[in-house]
Structure 1
Amino acid sequence: MKYWLFKSEPDEFGIDDLAACQRERWDGIRNYQARNLLRDEVAVGDQVLLYHSSCKNVGVAGIAEVVAGAYPDPLQFDPDSKYFDPKSSPDKPRWISVDIAFVQKFARVLPLQTIKTMPALNEMVLVKQGRLSVQPVRAQEWQAIVAAVG
């Protein structure tokens, strides 16, 4: 099992949305590095920190689990979708989705500012690189975050 951080804008889809539907396709990823992680490394059973970005309370909001492995993101084929990609085709898809299921909403969002001050997290991809929408999380980083939210 591996650990991941998936970024989402909560006004588009956040931990409350996942809690309401319980399972959802994680789609719309249009970054090649993130796509490669979804395609090549994210697997069923992996645990995911759901991170809220581009909002008032930026930070880790809860936990999900990967329940379906990599498959072509159907939005890339939909001309009415903002994620449509005319260079992609069903026989040669460019973009990948996985399915995630709700596990837990934290009692409070663990803010990015707090994460940046935690010595156990100073090498975390979120702190060092930041912008990637799908990021690996080391086991000790996972444990530090879960312990911080109690």
Structure 2
Amino acid sequence: MRYWLFKSEPSTWSWAQQVAKGEVGEEWDGVRNYQARNFMREMAVGDRGFFYHSQKEKSVVGIIEVCAAAHQDSTTDDDRWECVDIKAIAPVPKPVTLAMIKDDPRLTEMALVKSSRLSVQPVTAEEWAIVCEMGGVTLYTANRM
């Protein structure tokens, strides 16, 4: 299993909207960055990710699971753009802010700190464990929900 971070502006697509999609999940569509698209191509069904609210909130607010591998993005006819489908697994009990992540010396190499504008990015297993701990999510729960 690999780990990822998906960024969304809450005014465009919020955690509550993701949760409302239930088991069916939703396409993570509209991504028009080659690096982010390539990360989605690497994803496998069952991979986990953080759902991150950008803009004012700037915090990890939920845990998602990839529920469909990369496929054509339905919002365009351009075959260069693909996306995965994700479903909500659980909220993060204590949202983990960008400031908290930047303040933790163990997370200085995290893509969110180094490439903050990228909408889809990898998270290492160590980073996953640290952010889960910060958010009050046990690793048992985060990996087996």
Q: Aligned ranges for residues 125-136 of structure 1 at < 5 Å?
A: 125-136=111-122
Mapped to 2, the partners of 1:44 and 1:120 lie a distance apart of 28
Q: Deviations over 1:6-45 (max 9, x none)?
A: 1111111121111111211111100011011112x11111
Q: Deviations over 1:50-91 (max 9, x none)?
A: 11112x2111111000010000001013xxxxxxxxxx2xxx
Mapped to 1, the partners of 2:106 and 2:14 lie a distance apart of 26
Mapped to 2, the partners of 1:129 and 1:98 lie a distance apart of 21
Higher Cα radius of gyration: 1
2:58 is aligned with 1:58: yes
Find the partner of 2:109 among 111, 120, 123. 123
Alpha-carbon contact 2:45-2:69 (below 8 Å) kept: yes
Q: Aligned ranges for residues 29-108 of structure 1 at < 5 Å?
A: 29-39=31-41, 41-54=42-55, 56-77=56-77, 88=78, 93-108=79-94
Larger displacement relative to structure 2 (5-14 or 104-113):
104-113
After the TM superposition, list the runs of 4 or more consecutive aligned residues in structure 1 that deviate by more than 4 angstroms: none
Deviation at 1:107, TM superposition (A): 2.5
Deviation at 1:97, TM superposition (A): 1.3
2:30 is aligned with 1:28: yes
Give the TM-score, by structure 1 length: 0.86
Count of equivalent residues? 134
Give the TM-score, by structure 2 length: 0.89
Q: Percent of pairs identical after alignment?
A: 49
Q: Secondary structure at the match of 2:75?
A: helix
Find the partner of 2:99 among 107, 113, 130. 113
Deviation at 1:108, TM superposition (A): 3.3
Gaps of 5+ in 1: 78-87
CA RMSD between the two structures: 0.9
Q: Deviations over 1:87-123 (max 9, x none)?
A: x2xxxx0101111111011223211011100122111
Gaps of 5+ in 2: 137-145
